Amino acid sequence: MTMKINFSFPSQYGTFSDALHLPDDHEFTGVEIEAMKQQRFDKWIAVITAPRLNYLLDADGNVVFDADGNPLIAE
């Protein structure tokens, strides 16, 4: 069986809510579980605060791709 640990962190960007799913017989300490929660929150903050890429768009507003299917980034 597994246990679900719901958690949330308030931030200036809104509330981050997530859950950890662990086996009932897990051996994580409270400190390790808190570190897992903090790591997920930190990764979320990194994603939402990362600079946005400026993709090259065609005349119709569609992203332009190179021959390998990668989006082109405007410089």
pTM: 0.72
* N-term to C-term CA, the chain: 51
Q: Cα separation of 35 and 29, whole Å? A: 10
Per-residue pLDDT reduced to its tens digit, 3-56: 999 999 999 999 999 999 999 999 999 999 999 999 999 999 999 999 888 999
CB 20 within 8 A of CB 36: yes
Measured at the CA of 59, the angle between CA 55 and CA 62, to 5 degrees, comes to: 45
